[in-house]
Amino acid sequence: MSAAPGQAPASVDVLTFGETMLAAQLPGSLAVGAQARTTVAGAESNVAIGLARLGHHAVWAGLVGDDEPGRLVLRTLRGEGVDITRAATHGTAPTGAMLREQRVADLARVHYWRSHSAASLLTPADIAPALGDGARVLHLTGITCALGPGPLEAVRAAAAHAHAQGWTVALDVNHRQRLWTAEEAGRALRPLLPLLTVLIASDDELPVVSDAFTDTPEGEERAVDALLDAGVREVVVKRGGEGAAVRDRRGARHSVPALRVPVRDTVGAGDAFCAGYLSGLLDGLPPAGRLDRANTLGAFAVASDGDWEGLPRRDELGLLDAAPGTAIR
């Protein structure tokens, strides 16, 4: 394996790693020959792009194949300002791929080809150099944990290292039923809870990492209580069109409503939300301000096509305050 070219990083705001894939996006069904647009997509790299566009030093330390899709991944991330100094290529395993069909109305169907991909062979040794560089925040997702035993061990090693070094450790549960069951995810993710500073989950993902059912407000309260008791310092709950909320171990709680925007594409909205929340954390915003920024990036994502393409630069954060149909001249 070889490191991607680049200079050694200086001070890192956020370190993340995981699988970024070749993505083919279709406006209709593949079966009828809809024309595809090729791009790249991956939960952690989506977050890294969102942070880089806001001016943060974001490092993506994933593993891709030594192939054309892998070169596209690295070129795209580099072009978006993400630090790929610690990204690496695998000599024999391929870069993963995904295909997303806009099947009917706003219903999207996603297909993956990630078995035996380069990212599924990631090990703790692959991320050790990036961990040695240091960072203010380590961002992890449940998706990486689901890719195989090596990636799971890499996440565990990274979380333990970051916790011992006093970094902020953030985990987005990001449960994917096609990768593993809720029971399998729970067994893998729950041991990480004492190491986490921030846990981010949608309301229907809370049962994955707690024993509480969340079909009522009381159930959600019990789930958050359980996570805080397990050692998480701060739990952020995404409620889709209803906004988001955060609670911490000191008893503080805040909630904000979602921004109302025309919905074009919901894929990537959760990653955008995470990027916004971590950006607010890095900027020292209070909890309500962090939620506001998270909701803002989530709104940009759902109102744009693509996983990350519509995410804002820092000087664009206020664009959604304009009235619908406004032309900014």
- Confirm whether 192 is domain-assigned: yes
Residue 229, number of CB atoms within 10 A of its CB: 11
- Confirm whether 91 is domain-assigned: no
Q: Are 104 and 27 in contact (CB under 8 A)?
A: no
Q: What's the pTM? A: 0.94
What's the token pair of residue 92? 């024999």
Angle between helical axes of 43-53 and 68-79 (0-180°, round to 10): 30
Residue 64, number of CB atoms within 10 A of its CB: 31
Q: What tens digit of pLDDT does each residue of 92-109 get?
A: 999 999 999 988 877 888
Distance separating alpha carbons of residues 113 and 21, to the nearest angstrom: 9
Distance separating alpha carbons of residues 99 and 26, to the nearest angstrom: 8
Q: Are 200 and 239 in contact (CB under 8 A)?
A: no
**Mean residue pLDDT across the chain:** 93
Q: What tens digit of pLDDT does each residue of 220-249 get?
A: 999 999 999 999 999 999 998 889 999 999
Pick from 300, 223, 291: nearest CA to 268:
300
How sure is the predictor about 206, in pLDDT bands with cuts at 50, 70 and 90? very high
- Confirm whether 156 is domain-assigned: yes
Give the per-residue pLDDT at 263.
85
Distance separating alpha carbons of residues 203 and 43, to the nearest angstrom: 18
- Confirm whether 27 is domain-assigned: no
Give the per-residue pLDDT at 34.
84
* Start-end of H helices in the chain: 43-53, 68-79, 124-133, 142-145, 149-165, 182-189, 206-209, 217-229, 269-282, 287-302
Give the per-residue pLDDT at 9.
43
Q: What is the CATH number of the domain that holds 218?
A: 3.40.1190.20
C-alpha distances out from residue 81 to 2, 16, 60, 72, 93, Å:
21, 14, 11, 14, 26
Would you please indicate which residues are annotated as catalytic (active-site) residues?
271
Parallel/antiparallel/unpaired status of strands 14-16 and 58-60: parallel
Give the number of domains in the chain: 1
DSSP state of 3: E
Amino acid sitting at position 226:
A
> Does the pLDDT of residue 163 top 90, yes or no?
yes
Distance separating alpha carbons of residues 95 and 67, to the nearest angstrom: 7
- Confirm whether 218 is domain-assigned: yes
- Confirm whether 174 is domain-assigned: yes
Q: For tokens 């920024």, what's the residue?
A: 293
**Sheet holding 21-26: strands in order across?**
37-41, 21-26, 97-104, 107-113
> CB under 8 Å to 138, separation ≥6 — which residues?
14, 15, 16, 158, 159, 162, 167, 168, 169, 170
- Confirm whether 32 is domain-assigned: no
State residue 235 phi and psi, 5-degree precision: -115, 125
Buried b (16+ CB within 10 A) or exposed e, 154-172: bbbbbbebbbeeebbbbbb
Residues of the chain with pLDDT > 90, as a percent, come to: 81
Element (H, E) at 192: none
Structural domain for 169, as ranges: 12-18+43-86+121-308
How sure is the predictor about 3, in pLDDT bands with cuts at 50, 70 and 90? very low
- Confirm whether 145 is domain-assigned: yes
Parallel/antiparallel/unpaired status of strands 2-3 and 88-90: antiparallel
Q: Are 95 and 108 in contact (CB under 8 A)?
A: no
